[in-house]
Amino acid sequence: MITVALAKGALLQDSISRFAKAGLDFSSLLEPGNRQLMVPSVCGKAKALLVRNADVAVYVAYGQAQLGIVGYDVLSEQDMPVANLLDLEFGHCRMSVAVRENSGYKRASNLPPHCRVASKFTNCAKTYFEKIDLPVELVHLTGSVELGPLTGMAEAIVDLVATGRTLKENGLIEIEQLFHSTARLIGNPLSLRLDNGYLQEIIEAIQLQNISHNSAN
């Protein structure tokens, strides 16, 4: 029996759909009132762990799950030893630098050296600002990073943006995009090497869904 790590929240429904089409039905996780964190597939050949988005790669890296679905933003931030197998092409969002609309900054390079930048994704932010050779002080926040510029604690933020509505409602604008993020199928490297063929069957079935979707479009 294999174990799959699935993230709570925005990616869950599409993740379950992809595995269901590959023969592993974990739809019980979507039932109203479900409180189970570990459920078997309908076919009984696998089980799913329902975890926080940030924990998916951890379970896969340590081998408690052989496969998982997680956002590329999390993979980039954590840099865990997992195999990035497929871009699943859903869960679209972008990692962006944003500032107050009235700040006057048009590009990230316009920010003053050694200014404060608030983010939940400080590793991604660090890599980006080093790339553009701009020294900044990174402030790690776990909640609403939009408050950083609003309170004057930070000149800018680095955060995930989907529609941009939250930024707009708080008087912030995007001035730079670090990268585009989508859901990724990841695997445990050792499990993949020891696979007797079953994991590869699942991976190929999910890959075929990508091909069919792209052909239809």
* Domain boundaries, given as residue ranges, for the chain: 2-91+182-216, 93-181
Q: How far apart are CA 114 and CA 135, in angstroms?
A: 5
Give the CA angle between residues 193, 48, 32 to the nearest 5°.
Answer: 160
Q: What is the pLDDT of residue 211?
A: 65
* DSSP symbol at 166: H
- The CATH number fitting domain 93-181, selected from 3.40.980.10, 1.20.1600.10, 3.40.50.970, 3.40.190.10: 3.40.190.10
93: burial class by Cβ within 10 Å (0-12, 13-18, 19+)?
middle
Residue among 196, 162, 199 at smallest CA distance from 177: 162
Q: How far apart are CA 92 and CA 191, in angstroms?
A: 28
* DSSP symbol at 28: G
52 has which bridge partners? none
Q: What is the pLDDT of residue 210?
A: 73
* DSSP symbol at 39: E
Which position has the token pair 């998916």?
56
Q: How far apart are CA 217 and CA 36, in angstroms?
A: 37
3 state DSSP class of 114? coil
| Below-50 pLDDT ranges, the chain | none
Q: What is the pLDDT of residue 33?
A: 82
Q: Which residues of 110-136 are buried (b: 16+ CB within 10 A; e: fewer)?
A: ebeeeebbbbbbbebbeebbeeeebeb
Q: How, if at all, do strands 93-100 and 172-181 pair?
A: antiparallel
The answer to whether the CB of 114 falls within 8 A of the CB of 143 is: no
Q: What is the pLDDT of residue 42?
A: 82
Q: How far apart are CA 125 and CA 127, in angstroms?
A: 5
CATH class of 2-91+182-216: alpha beta
Enter the pTM of the model.
0.90
87 has which bridge partners? 184
Domain 93-181 in the same topology as domain 2-91+182-216: yes
Q: What is the pLDDT of residue 124?
A: 97
Q: What is the pLDDT of residue 209?
A: 80
44-83 residue pLDDT tens: 889 999 999 999 999 999 999 999 999 999 999 998 999 9
